Structures are given as C-alpha cells and as structure tokens.
C-alpha cells in the first residue's frame, strides 16, 4: 500500500471517529441516548461506541468509549447524573474509574472481539451483531463490577440493596439492571449490528 493510500485511510478513520464521537455526545446529552428509569438509565450510547469499534477498529472504539465516559462523568460532577452524582460525592476517583476507564475498555474490547470473529469465515456476517451485542453487555458488566468494587459497602448502595432485598453483590446487580439490561442488549444488537454492517461496506467501497 502506498504512502498516499495509507494517509487517505488514516484521515478517513479520523473523520469517522470524529463523527461517531459527535453522535455519542449528542446522544449522551439528549433524550436520544437514554430511556430514563428511577435509578439507572437504559443507555443507547453504546450503539455508536460499538459502531466505531467495528468500523474504525479498537482505537476508534476506545475513543468513542472515552467520550461516552467523560460525558457521563461530567454530568455526574454537574449534578445531572442521578445515582452517579451521589456516587461522585462519595468517591470521585471510584466514579471516574467506573464512568470513564470502564467505558474506554468497552470500546476497545468490542473492537478486539469483532476483529477476532471477523477473521473466521463462517462468522463473518454475524460478527457485526455479536460485536454490537458485546457493547451493552460489557458496558453493564464492567460498570456494575466497578460500581460494586468501589461502592457496594457504602451506606447509599446498601440502602438500595436492602430495599430491593439484595443480600449480595451479584443479586444486587441482577435486580438493579433487570429488564433495562435486556432492552439495552436487544436494541444495541439490532441497531448497532445493522448500522455497523452497512457502514463498514460503504467505508470499504469508498
């Protein structure tokens, strides 16, 4: 591949990443990106993160995940995050890890998983949907793992856990995530996988 072609591909990836970051920020700050529940929000922002990880690659996914996480953290700091705002007041560092670092890992890992699956011929097409599914699943898994690690023993979380009859962290996560986790997974898989498949074909043909 010539140097000019390499530069063109790199510029294209930068543009694609920038556009998807913009979509992450718009969705993260409007009703387009969330379905609100009393405690946590059903997040649709993992969709552009998954698309970036699949179409651009692991670094693109990491960048969009970072944008998602930083936006969530800023909202927590500004008092707009509901539970995350309370948790920020308890442990700012723990909240940063939970909101930002874990979201970076989500984007990066989705890109790695997709690449591994795409190399297998019999999984080539379905890999887009598996990759898209991994985004909400990893987001829930990593976010809730970090939340329990930093905050499970705090009075705030214990009050919620006791109110819901959760006697251990695993039961707490299952009860808290509940149906919203299922909605995130289904929505993310269908929309994210379909969009990524189409965009990846367009990107390769352009």
Give yes or no for a contact between 183 and 159, defined as CB atoms under 8 angstroms apart. no
Number of domains in the chain: 1
In this prediction, residue 3 carries a pLDDT of 67
Predicted confidence at residue 2, as pLDDT, reads 57
User: For the domain that residue 29 is a member of, what is the CATH number?
Assistant: 1.10.1760.20
pLDDT of residue 65: 96
Among 3-7, 25-29, 92-96, the range of highest mean pLDDT: 92-96
Q: What is the pLDDT of residue 1?
A: 53
Sign of CA dihedral 106, 112, 115, 119: negative
Half-sphere exposure of 163 (CA within 13 A, CB side): 8
The percent of residues above 70 in pLDDT, for the chain, comes to 90
CA distances from 69 to 39, 54, 66, 74, 116 (A): 18, 19, 5, 9, 25
| Res 181: pLDDT | 83
Q: Which of 18, 107, 30 is nearest to 68 (CA)?
A: 107
Average pLDDT over residues 91-111: 97
CA dihedral over 67, 98, 161, 183, signed as positive or negative:
positive
What pLDDT sits at residue 179?
76
Domain that holds residue 25: 3-205
Q: Which of 112, 116, 119, 117 is nearest to 138 (CA)?
A: 112
φ/ψ (deg, to 5) at 34: -145, 150
Q: Which pLDDT belongs to residue 76?
A: 93
Q: Is the pLDDT of residue 102 over 90?
A: yes
Angle between helix axes 58-77 and 83-90 (nearest 10 degrees) is: 80
**What is the pLDDT confidence band of residue 119, given thresholds at 50, 70 and 90?**
confident
Residue 80 above 90 pLDDT? no
């Amino acid at each position: 591949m010539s140097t000019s072609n390499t530069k063109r591909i790199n510029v294209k990836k930068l543009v694609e990443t920038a556009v998807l970051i913009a979509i992450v920020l718009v969705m993260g700050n409007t009703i387009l990106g969330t379905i609100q529940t009393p405690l946590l929000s059903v997040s649709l922002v993992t969709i552009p993160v998954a698309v970036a990880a699949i179409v651009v690659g692991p670094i693109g996914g990491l960048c969009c995940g970072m944008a998602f996480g930083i936006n969530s953290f800023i909202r927590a700091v500004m008092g707009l995050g509901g539970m995350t705002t309370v948790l920020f007041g308890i442990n700012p560092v723990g909240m940063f890890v939970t909101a930002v670092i874990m979201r970076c890992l989500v984007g990066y890992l989705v890109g790695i998983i997709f690449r591994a699956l795409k190399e297998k011929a019999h999984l080539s097409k379905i890999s887009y949907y598996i990759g898209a599914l991994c985004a909400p699943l990893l987001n829930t898994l990593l976010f809730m793992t970090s939340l329990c690690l930093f905050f499970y023993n705090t009075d705030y979380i214990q009050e919620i856990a006791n109110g819901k009859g959760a006697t251990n962290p695993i039961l707490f996560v299952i009860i808290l995530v509940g149906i919203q986790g299922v909605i995130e997974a289904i929505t993310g898989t269908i929309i994210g996988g379909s969009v990524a498949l189409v965009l990846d074909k367009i990107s390769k043909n352009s």
